[in-house]
Amino acid sequence: MRTRHIRTPLPGPKAQALIARDAAVTSPSYPRDYPFAMSHGRGCEVWDVDGNRFLDFAAG
């Protein structure tokens, strides 16, 4: 069985910077379900800006 390795605590330092910038320039009336700064995706996987890989359970 393969296991995943989280490269940084979540959210990572690059994601934290982007999330803070987003909060500074976006209306507080726009809801955020969870802090996430996506870098790219392929199939059912997405990567954050810190290099962590996740299964995409949010796509419809």
In a domain, 58, yes or no: yes
In a domain, 43, yes or no: yes
In a domain, 5, yes or no: no
Which pLDDT value is given to residue 1? 59
Which pLDDT value is given to residue 42? 94
| Strands 53-55 and 45-48, sheet pairing | antiparallel
Q: Which residues does 60 contact at the CB level (< 8 Å), separation at least 6?
A: none
In a domain, 2, yes or no: no
Which pLDDT value is given to residue 57? 85
Secondary structure of residue 52 in the 3-state scheme: coil
Write out residues in the chain with pLDDT < 70, as ranges: 1, 59-60
Which pLDDT value is given to residue 41? 94
In a domain, 45, yes or no: yes
